[in-house]
Amino acid sequence: MELTIVLTNSLYAIIGGAITILFLFIGFKSADHLTRVHAATELAKRNQAVGMMVRRMLAAWNQV
């Protein structure tokens, strides 16, 4: 009985993590479309200001 509880909770954690990563991806793409800056290109150029902006937006959306 305890093994099924552990497996069920592990499955919930994996599914929750996958959903969280999906929402972070959607949030990043939304931030990319909402701003005039193409975030992926700027991050490839190591632009720290864009990285901080994206990080703050994703953190704010995760708090909601």
Residue 61 included in any domain: yes
Give the long-range contacts of residues 55-64, CB within 8 A, separation 24 or more.
57/27, 57/31, 58/24, 58/27, 58/28, 58/31, 61/23, 61/27, 62/20, 62/23, 62/24, 62/27
Residue 2 included in any domain: no
Band of residue 64 on the pLDDT scale cut at 50, 70, 90? low
- Determine the pLDDT at residue 62: 66
Residue 17 included in any domain: no
Band of residue 47 on the pLDDT scale cut at 50, 70, 90? confident
Residue 57 included in any domain: yes
pTM above 0.75, yes or no: no
Residue 27 included in any domain: yes
Domain that holds residue 42: 23-64
Counted domains in the chain = 1
Q: How far, CA to CA in Å, does 22 sit from each of 17, 28, 37?
A: 9, 10, 22
At 57, which amino acid appears? M
